[in-house]
Amino acid sequence: MIKNFSDHAANERTFLAWVRTAITVMAFGFLVEKFDLFLKYMGLSISAHAPHPPPRAFGALAGLSLIILGMLMMVVATVRFLQIARNIDVAEQHLAAGSKLDIALAVLLTLLGASLFAYLAQRLFTGF
Distance CA(45)–CA(6), nearest Å, equals: 58
Query: Considering the chain, what is the average pLDDT of its residues?
Result: 79
Section 48-71 average pLDDT = 72
Give the whole-number percent of the chain exceeding pLDDT 70.
Answer: 75
Annotate 50-84 with DSSP letters as a single string.
-PPPPP-HHHHHHHHHHHHHHHHHHHHHHHHHHHH
Q: Would the pTM of this model clear 0.75, i.e. be above it?
A: no
Amino acid at 104: A
Given this model, what pLDDT does residue 102 score? 74
pLDDT of 106 > 70? The answer is: yes
How far apart CA 60 and CA 45 sit, in angstroms, is 21
Q: pLDDT of 3-46, one tens digit each?
A: 888 988 999 999 999 999 999 989 988 888 777 766 666 665 66
Cβ atoms 53, 40 nearer than 8 A: yes
Amino acid 59 reads G
- Overall average pLDDT of the 44-63 stretch: 64
Residue 103 has pLDDT above 60, yes or no: yes
Higher-confidence residue of 81 and 35: namely 81
Q: Name the nearest CA neighbour of 59 among 74, 37, 87.
A: 37
Average of pLDDT values for 43-71? 70
- The Cα-based distances of 49 to 37, 43, 45, 128 in angstroms read 19, 10, 9, 13
- pLDDT value at position 38? 65
Residue 64 predicted with pLDDT over 80:
yes
Residue 43, pLDDT score:
61
Residues 6 or more apart whose Cβ sits within 8 Å of residue 34: 63
